[in-house]
Structure 1
Amino acid sequence: MHPHIEKLYLSAAKPERLIIGLMSGTSLDGLDVALCRISGHGRYTDVTVEAFTTCDYPQEVKDKITQVFAKQVVNLEYLTLLNAWLGQYHGQLINQCLARWQVSADEVDVIASHGQTIYHSPKHQHAYNEFGNATLQIADADHIAVTTGITTIADFRQKHIAGGGEGAPLAQYGDYYYFASADENRILLNMGGIANLTYLPKGAEINDVICSDLGPGNTLMDAYMRLHFSKPFDEDAKVARQGAVNQLLLNELLNAPFFALKLPKTTGPEIFNLALLEQAQATSQTQQLSHQDVMATLSALSANIIAKYINELSSTDTAVYCSGGGVHNVWLMQQIKRQLAPHVSLKNSDVLGIHPDAKEAVLFAILANECLAGTPANKQVSEVPNITMGKVSFAD
């Protein structure tokens, strides 16, 4: 048996595994790195986050990714080079984290890398009848593995598509395995660039779970702030608070075809971008709005769609646990809360033991744990493929 295969076999047989989960989302703000000790698998998964940090991307890294991010036409040579470079860079960031945490590479069983989404194109979003769902993440896992000396499991979304899914959201698996409750109706709401949720009715089986993208979380607001204020986001909602919601523009934004699709569905900045906003302003004749009014309206859009779907899913007492960068936008959180039904409570995911910024990195660590130690399933569940995800890259 090859030594690497033997090591994977031994890791799978261990009572617990040390897995590093990585996440870099559509906000392009940095790499979330979560050091997770995981035991069990499936519904018997137990996770302890032993360390977590976000490695902020310097502006030059953001600029590199932005050159190819969510664009239909890119420089293919540059994309090829960036794929390898970003994998090496992520590996270097992991090495820095391990040194800071005083953890040796030999102690870590595997790295679980989401990669950096460059383009997401579900079938409902493109015009090519002969093609199905597709997605592309870069930050090559072989480069991460070689740079760190740690076996790396990555490219989870491709298997999801190959199994009949849209490649997103993948939170359904980890949310069900770790957060489902026998006593409480739960919604796990993640507000990154795109907002998504997982609905977990109490006592749920996997086919009772609903997981879907909802629409823009921070992506439109962040893009507008970068363009007009040269800032990555609206800190403390200082700009949005100064404006007034324009109902004409809000109604036009809500007319986006994505919102007419039934759950579950996926989307990304390929759709929710400044071109969409520009078109909506032209149609609603609101081009002369102040920047403050536009930001107030974009914030209202995110709050409106999030609250709408939560209320539709919550017919009785339900606890909503929030994660992602949006939880730091107190103004947005207040807007959502005001629109929720009285029987719905809003909390942060740290109440469940997972830091709001760490949750998605932890979920990919859980997916890697399933790849190592889970039980394969050979059936389609609730329109979502119940399959083992992840490709394995060895360190040498």
Structure 2
Amino acid sequence: MNRFLNRLIESSKAESRLVIGLMSGTSLDGLDIALCRLEGSGLFSKVKVLQERTSCYSDDFKEDIRSVFSKREVDLEKVALLNAKIGKVHAGLLIEALEDWGVEPSEIDFIASHGQTIYHAPKSLHGLENYPNATLQIGDGDHIAIRTGIITLSDFRQKHVAAGGEGAPLALYGDYILFSSRLENRVLLNIGGISNFTYLPIDSSKIICSDVGPGNTLIDLLARRYFNIPFDEGGQIAARGKVCESLLDELMAHAFFSEPFPKSTGPELFSINFLESTVRNTGNTHLGGEDLIATVTEFTAQAIAKGLNLILKNTESALYVSGGGSHNSCLLESLSILLPKVRIDKLESLGISSDAKEAVLFAVLANETVCGSAVETGGGPVVMMGKISLPE
């Protein structure tokens, strides 16, 4: 038997495993790396985050990705080249992290690599009758496995699509395993480029996981355009601006917000083209950067609140926020006003860093594939996810 397959079998039988989760989201700010100690599987899983970091991307690398990111027409050669390059870059950043942490690659049981989403195309967005849901992540797992010498699980979203899902959001599985509670109704809200939530009622009667609208994507686009900075740190620019109500109303009138849960979306919809056309249609071309950022920040908050209010129906619940948006005070203040019966807290109060959450969740998904079973959540396809790449 291949020695790495044998290693995988041994890992599946061990009391615990060292697993690394890698996540690069639609914000393109860097690679989140989480070194986790995992015990058990399914609802008996226990996870301890031993180390975490975000390794920032160089500006050149970000621009490389943006050249193919969320665009319908791209240079196919560039996509092929980036599939290999992203895998190699991620492997290099992981090796640097292990060296800094004093951890040998041989100590790691396996890697869970999300890769980089470059296009998300659920049928609700592409509208083509003879084509299924689709999504594409690049940064091939074989390159990571070969360069690090560590077994790598990657390309998680394809199994979800194959089983009838949209490939997003996948937080449902990890949120259900790690954060279900018998003491309170919980909402796990992640505000990355796109906002998504998992609703975990006390009785687990109707778990819902769905994208709910834009997260940081429009805010970041405007921050780069008007202020030449990657994001609005802490919501400081939004706090200085004034919300344009006519523009906000038109943004909120988009058909996406009337579609039933669960649903998924991406920067393909909530793009700069979408915003610019709405600005023109509402006669608000005079707005400056601060007012635009204030408006799209409020748009993000209202989109989240509208979706959650449909689910929660004024029941008392606890909301735990993660992702880059969890650091935006202006956004969180709006959410607290729009969700008066919801106690809002950061994910840290549940023992996991807001910034590391998604990397940890992919480590959990890989753990299920190696030593668990398909988890029945009542809210998504019952599948195990991730393609396995061996280092030889």
Q: Counterparts of 1:1-396 in structure 2 under 5 Å?
A: 1-204=1-204, 208-314=206-312, 315-341=314-340, 343-376=341-374, 382=378, 384-396=380-392
Displacement of 1:16 = 0.6
Aligned pair in 2 of structure 1 residues 307, 127: CA closer, same or farther (>3 Å)? closer
List gaps (5 residues or longer) in structure 1.
none
AA paired with 2:78? Y
Number of residue equivalences: 391
Runs of 4+ with >4 A deviation: none
Aligned-pair CA distance for 1:308: 2.1
Give unmatched runs, 5+ long, in structure 2.
Answer: none
* 1:313 positional shift: 2.2
| Distance (whole Å) between structure 2 residues aligned to residue 375 and residue 291 of structure 1 | 49
Q: What is the rounded CA distance, in whole Å, between the counterparts of 1:311 and 1:126 in structure 2?
A: 28
Whole-Å Cα distance in 2 between the matches of residues 60 and 363 of structure 1?
29
Counterpart residue identity of residue 385, structure 1: P
How many Å apart are 1:237 and its aligned residue? 2.3
CA gap 1:382/1:376 in 2 versus in 1, 3 angstroms: closer
Q: Give the whole-Å Cα distance in 2 for the aligned partners of 1:215 and 1:274.
A: 14
TM-fit CA distance, 1:383 = 5.3
1:388 Cα deviation from its structure 2 partner: 0.8
CA distance in 2, matches of 1:382, 1:55: 35
Q: Sequence identity of aligned pairs in percent?
A: 48
Q: Residue 196 of structure 2 aligns to a residue in which SS?
A: strand
- Displacement of 1:245 in angstroms is 0.8
Between the aligned partners of 1:66 and 1:375, the Cα distance in structure 2 is 36
Q: Does structure 1 retain, via aligned residues, the 8 Å contact 2:208–2:379?
A: no
Distance 2:384 2:136 in 1: 19
The 8 Å contact of residues 183 and 203 in structure 1, kept in 2 or not, is answered as no
Rounded Cα–Cα distance in structure 2 between residues aligned with 1:169 and 1:376 = 17
The SS at the match of 1:49 is strand
TM-score by length of 1: 0.97
Q: Distance in 2 between matches of 1:47 and 1:9?
A: 20
The TM-score normalised by the length of structure 2 is 0.98
| Shift, 1:121, TM fit | 0.3
Contact 1:180 1:203 in 2 (8 A): no
Residues 118 and 136 of structure 2 are in contact (CA less than 8 Å); yes or no, is this contact kept in structure 1?
yes
| SS of the residue 1:189 aligns to | strand
AA matched with 2:334: Q
Question: Over the residues paired in the alignment, what is the CA RMSD in angstroms?
Answer: 1.2
* C-alpha contact 1:185 1:201 (8 A) present in aligned 2: yes
Query: What SS is found at the alignment partner of 1:245?
Result: coil
Q: Which amino acid aligns with 1:178?
A: L
